Chains A and B, each alone.
Chain A
Amino acid sequence: MSVAAANSYLESLLQGGSKLPVSPLAWLNQLRANAVERAGALRIPTTHDEEWRFTDISSLTKLPFQAIQTASDLPPSEAEPFYLEPATIRLVFVDGVYAPHLSTQVPDIAGDSGIVVTHLSAGLSKHPSTLEQHLARHADFRDTVFTAINTAMLHDGALVIMPPNATIDKPIHLLFIATQEKVASYPRCLLIAESGSTATVIEDYVTLQQGVYATNAVTEIALSDNARVNHIRVQRDSGQAFHIADCAVSLSQGSHYQSTSIALGARISRYNLNIQLAGQDAECVVDGLALIADRQLADTHTCIDHIKPHCTSRQLHKCIVDGSAHAVFNGKIMVRPNAQGTDSAQSSRNLLLSGRAHIDTKPQLEIFADDVKCAHGATIGQLDSEEVFYLKSRGLSEMAARNLLTYAFGAEIIEGIPIVSLRKQLEQTVLERTQRN
Chain B
Amino acid sequence: MISPDSKLLLEIRGLRASINSIEILKGVDLTVRSGEVHAIMGINGSGKSTLAKVLAGHAAYEVTGGTVLFEGSNLFDLAPEERARAGVFLAFQYPIEIPGVANNQFLRLTYNTVQTHRGKDELDPLEFDDFVREKMKMLEMSPDFLDRSVNAGFSGGEKKRNEILQMALLEPHLSILDETDSGLDIDALRIVANGVNQLATKDSATILVTHYQRLLNYIVPDYVHVMEAGRIIKTGGKQLAVDLESHGYDWVSAEQRAAARI
Contact = CB atoms under 8 A, between A and B. Distances in A.
B100 A408 contact: yes
Which of A392, A400, A401 has the most chain B CB atoms inside 10 A of its CB?
A392
B80 interface: yes
Contacts of A405: 98
Contacts of A392: 57, 79-81, 84
Contact of B81 (A396, A413, A414): A396
A390 B96 contact: yes
B99 A394 contact: no
Nearest to B95: A390
B110 interface: yes
A396 B113 contact: yes
Nearest to B152: A412
B220 to A, nearest CB: 26
B81 A395 contact: yes
B81 A409 contact: no
B196 interface: no
A410 interface: yes
A393 B84 contact: yes
B95 A415 contact: no
Interface in A384-407: 385-387, 389-398, 400-401, 404-405, 407
A407 to B, nearest CB: 7
A337 to B, nearest CB: 36
A411 interface: yes
Contacts of A415: 99-100, 149
Contacts of B100: 407-415
A389 B53 CA distance: 10
A415 B114 CA distance: 27
A409 B170 CA distance: 25
B53 to A, nearest CB: 9
Interface string B97-118: 0111100001001100110010
Contacts of A400: 109, 113
A390 B166 contact: no
A412 B101 CA distance: 8
B58 A395 contact: no
B90 interface: yes
A392 B80 CA distance: 6
Interface string B213-251: 000000000000000000000000000000000000000
Interface in B75-96: 79-81, 83-85, 89-90, 92, 95-96
Nearest to B176: A393
B96 A387 contact: yes
Contacts of B114: 394-395
A385 to B, nearest CB: 7
Given A396-B81, A398-B81, A404-B101, A389 B58 contact: yes
Nearest to B113: A395
A125 to B, nearest CB: 46
Interface string A139-156: 000000000000000000
Contact of A389 (B59, B99, B117): B59
Given A390-B96, A408-B100, A396 B109 contact: yes
Residue with the greatest number of chain A CB neighbours at <10 A, chosen from B80, B85, B100, B166? B100
B254 to A, nearest CB: 37
B95 A412 contact: no
Interface residues of B, number: 29
A109 to B, nearest CB: 39
Nearest to A386: B96
B56 interface: yes
B126 interface: no
B85 A407 contact: no
B217 to A, nearest CB: 28
A426 to B, nearest CB: 12
A393 B81 CA distance: 5
Contacts of A414: 100
Given A389-B59, A390-B92, A395 B98 contact: no
A408 B98 contact: yes
B98 A393 contact: no
Contacts of A394: 81, 84, 110, 113-114, 166, 170
Interface string A195-219: 0000000000000000000000000
Contact of A395 (B92, B95, B96, B110): B110
A414 B99 CA distance: 11
Interface string A145-171: 000000000000000000000000000
A195 B92 CA distance: 50
Contacts of A404: 98, 101, 106, 109
A409 B152 CA distance: 13
A397 B109 CA distance: 11
A401 B89 CA distance: 17
Contacts of A411: 100-101
B60 interface: yes
B200 to A, nearest CB: 20
A332 to B, nearest CB: 25
Contacts of B58: 389
> Which one of B60, B89, B92, B110 has the highest number of Cβ atoms from chain A below 10 Å of its Cβ?
B110
Contacts of B90: 393
B99 A393 contact: no
Contacts of A387: 96, 98
Contacts of A407: 100-101
Nearest to A401: B81
Interface of B: 56-60, 79-81, 83-85, 89-90, 92, 95-96, 98-101, 106, 109-110, 113-114, 117, 149, 166, 170
Interface of A: 385-387, 389-398, 400-401, 404-405, 407-415
24 contacts: A385-B59, A387-B98, A389-B58, A393-B84, A393-B89, A393-B90, A394-B114, A395-B81, A395-B84, A395-B113, A395-B114, A396-B110, A396-B113, A400-B113, A404-B98, A407-B101, A408-B98, A408-B100, A408-B101, A411-B100, A412-B99, A412-B100, A414-B100, A415-B149
Given A392-B84, A405-B98, A410-B100, 11 more contacts: A389-B58, A392-B81, A393-B56, A393-B57, A394-B113, A395-B110, A397-B81, A398-B81, A400-B113, A404-B101, A414-B100
**The 5 nearest A-B residue pairs measured at CB:** A411-B100, A412-B100, A408-B100, A395-B84, A394-B110
